[in-house]
Amino acid sequence: MIHVIAVITTKPGMREAVLREFRANMPAVHAEQGCIEYGPAVDAEGAGAIQTAFGADSFVVIEKWESLAALKAHAAAPHMAAYAARVKEMIASRVIHVLSPAG
């Protein structure tokens, strides 16, 4: 299994607009061969001192894929290119971590 943690930082005030586009794309991603989990998460409210917040302009995409091949196919999917084009001007940065279980 492959785990992906993607930290998306939008331009100021654009997070909700990007999340709308992200959520609209989710059904196509969930239908992909090898997709186990794919969804956005934002800072939890009230976590207190134990939390290091990402902030109001960021969200994290938590993904699980059956294999690296499935992840690579996802990255090359036409719906992902279309999503990227729709949000390109709203994104400040993205950092993608691709991980495997530490058995």
What confidence score (pLDDT) does residue 31 get?
Answer: 98
What confidence score (pLDDT) does residue 103 get?
Answer: 85
H or E segment to which residue 62 belongs? strand 58-65
Residue 34, sorted as left (phi over 0), alpha (psi -120 to 50) or beta, turns out to be left
Taking residues 9-32, report their average pLDDT. 98
H or E segment to which residue 86 belongs? helix 78-87
What CATH number labels 2-43+53-99? 3.30.70.100
Taking residues 2-8, report their average pLDDT. 98
Q: 50-90: per-residue pLDDT in tens?
A: 999 999 999 999 999 999 999 999 999 999 999 999 999 99
Q: 34-48: per-residue pLDDT in tens?
A: 999 999 999 999 998
